[in-house]
Amino acid sequence: MEFYRTLRLTGLLLALVYPLSVLTVQGGTEKPERIPVYNLMQDPLVSGVEISPDGKTIAALFNKNDRIMVLVKDLELADSEPVIINVLNHNVKWIKWANDRRIIAGAIVEEGIWQDYYALVVMDKDGKNMRHLISDYSIGNLIDLLPDDPDYVLVEELNIDNQVFPEVYKVCVGNENRKWRILESRFNIDHWITDGNDDVRMGVGYLSDRMVIDAKMPDGSWKTIDENRYLKDPQYYPLAVGKNGVAYVLSYHETDKAALYEYYIETQKFGRQLFKHDAVDIEDIYYSRQADAVEYAVFTIDTPELHFFDEQLGRDYQSVSRALTDTTNLIVSRSADEKRMIILAGSSGDPGRYYLFDRENKTLKYLGSCYPDLEKMPLSKTEGMKYKARDGMTIYGYVSFPSAHSGSPLPMVVLVHGGPYARDKNEFNPWVQFLTNRGYIVFQPNFRGSTGYGDSYWKSGYRQWGLAMQNDILDGVKILIDNKTADEKRICVMGASYGGYAALMGAAKNSDIFRCAISIAGISDLNKLMIQKGNYLNRALIGDDPVERRAGSPINYAPDIECPVLLAHGTDDNTVYYSQSDDMHDALKRADKDVTFLKLKDETHHLEDIKNRVSLFETIEKFLNKHMGASSGEK
């Protein structure tokens, strides 16, 4: 029987006839017009699914009463009950199989500028024999699962004796707490990369003004092989190292878009260009230790796409995509022999479902939904757009419409992404779904300075906070007004972090356009930001002239703001300090402006507490109802 037919009949049809979901219980059949705030703002019921090396068991993050635990399910016993594991009362962020019997869980305890460090916990797959992997007083990251030595893993660790740059330890994953150091820390190195032989071969560090790359030479010595100065030198970043010592790196040294290259460590020379895309950066790769080769590269025009170097895997993947036609389908986990894979299928209007793909038996089995409470809800879809800014530069973005949109102009929320050196994609976004469900069109501009569209695109945002970056947002809004998409009298600007800054600048500069502004953990004072977070990169990207920074600070325009403003900020935010919103609130109050300030107690920059997320969006709903009227039907 042809593969595609087998795939559909064996996997999808049975999933419809029999409730084969091994992870979740599906939600009800009603389609309420209004989705409860909690249903959208909660963490997914199931996420981060990982298959064991032997392909017989799956583990996943499981949201039980708003605590993220670990779920384990035997794939060979269809009727068996899943095991739910509370990991030392941590909210687990990720899981990995150490071997077929033991699971490692990471719970975030320290946020870094470039990467985070975790408390690492190891346990049996039934939850027994649980312990900290390294120690109660250490944090770290997994860097190699050592598939050829399954009782051990390699960990980069920060500890009491070494609190700045991580050392590398080989750690026992069994019941005995045994480890030994295999590599001392090196000054300025924050992250280590192993090769296909499980040997630590490269290290990457981030200084205030440059990125440092160290490498192990064939004679065993370590050497700094490159120092990339931010904004001055062509950047490249190592992702993997093969068994022959050739690294696979993303680089801008020949093209405006990040391309995938071979890199020879010993000679410090670039080899072949393996893949590039003319429109966007290459984002990531999958290196197969079994094949000792890069099997595919990942890039995103609107949704993530895979370019395959392994032709058979590419054919298998296309068969999956023909069966799951309306979703973006990502390979998120695989067995050691790569014959069984976990597929995550989702889209802007589909919060995601997991499938087990058996390449050998040619079957695709439905596992469960990320958000079963949203399965029967009316979700909106997102469309890509591009437009010309006032200086002629092409800007990219997205527009999402309420599910029952008739085509007439509607009130619109401009949702500005944070970073600002990041980007929005055409994918499921709970914030977008909340807003469209309440009757608003949502515009998400990837203004200049956004990443993913090439080196010149993001560098064009250099020192353009409040200037060209802000104009790009406004130019997109005007186009959506002119083409009768948005109701010009009911437009609100909203964002978090940098997006909050942009919302405040929109209110300051364009109160005639924006009927209201919502700033979540937003920056209001660039000079104060430099005191609080004044590293070289911030100074270079934002500007080092205090007069220019003052001119680009919303707090100094409080008397000019004529539209209502909602501020929200977590009191424990260590990324953008709480004082940024507190000061803006005081300035608006002194100017006798219409301002509401929601203080999110004990909250971080990332809105981790579900109670705070629900409170925030309930407040946003009331604020928008009052000033825009879409949800209540007011004009």
Q: 178 vs 56, which has greater pLDDT?
A: 56
For the segment 573-585, the average pLDDT, to the nearest whole number, is: 96
Digit-coded pLDDT (tens) for 187-205: 889 999 999 999 999 999 9
Q: Which residues contact 618 (CB under 8 A, 6 or more apart)?
A: 37
CA distance 257 to 242: 24
Dihedral-angle region of residue 107 (phi above 0 means left; psi in -120 to 50 means alpha; beta otherwise): beta
Q: 158 vs 148, which has greater pLDDT?
A: 148
In the predicted model, is pLDDT for residue 592 greater than 90? yes
According to the model, what pLDDT value does residue 6 have? Answer: 29
Among 72-76, 156-160, 312-316, 400-404, the minimum mean pLDDT is found in 156-160
Among 153-162, 173-182, 352-361, 497-506, the minimum mean pLDDT is found in 153-162
In the predicted model, is pLDDT for residue 363 greater than 50? yes
In the predicted model, is pLDDT for residue 23 greater than 70? no
DSSP secondary structure code for residue 635 in this structure: -
In the predicted model, is pLDDT for residue 16 greater than 70? no
CA distance 285 to 300: 12
Q: What is the DSSP string of 368-423?
A: EES-GGGTTS----EEEEEEE-TTS-EEEEEEE--TT--SS-EEEEEEE-SSSS--
For the segment 95-99, the average pLDDT, to the nearest whole number, is: 97
**pLDDT band, residue 115 (cuts 50/70/90):** low
Q: 601 vs 7, which has greater pLDDT?
A: 601
**pLDDT band, residue 32 (cuts 50/70/90):** very low
CA distance 476 to 38: 31
For the segment 508-537, the average pLDDT, to the nearest whole number, is: 92
**pLDDT band, residue 321 (cuts 50/70/90):** very high
CA distance 580 to 558: 13
Among 153-162, 447-456, 480-489, 604-613, the minimum mean pLDDT is found in 153-162
Share of the chain above pLDDT 90, in %: 81
Tokens of 208: 């205030």
Dihedral-angle region of residue 266 (phi above 0 means left; psi in -120 to 50 means alpha; beta otherwise): alpha
- Residue 450 and residue 421 in contact, taking contact as beta carbons nearer than 8 Å: yes
Greatest mean pLDDT among 29-38, 153-162, 505-514 lies in 505-514
Strand partners, 494: 415, 518
According to the model, what pLDDT value does residue 163 have? Answer: 75
Across the chain, which distance is largest between two alpha carbons, in Å?
75
In the predicted model, is pLDDT for residue 635 greater than 50? no
According to the model, what pLDDT value does residue 25 have? Answer: 31
According to the model, what pLDDT value does residue 2 have? Answer: 26
Indicate whether this model's pTM tops 0.85: yes
For the segment 345-367, the average pLDDT, to the nearest whole number, is: 96
According to the model, what pLDDT value does residue 208 have? Answer: 78
According to the model, what pLDDT value does residue 441 have? Answer: 97
Mean pLDDT (the chain) is 90
According to the model, what pLDDT value does residue 3 have? Answer: 24
Tokens of 526: 């660039």
According to the model, what pLDDT value does residue 171 have? Answer: 96
- Residue 299 and residue 305 in contact, taking contact as beta carbons nearer than 8 Å: yes
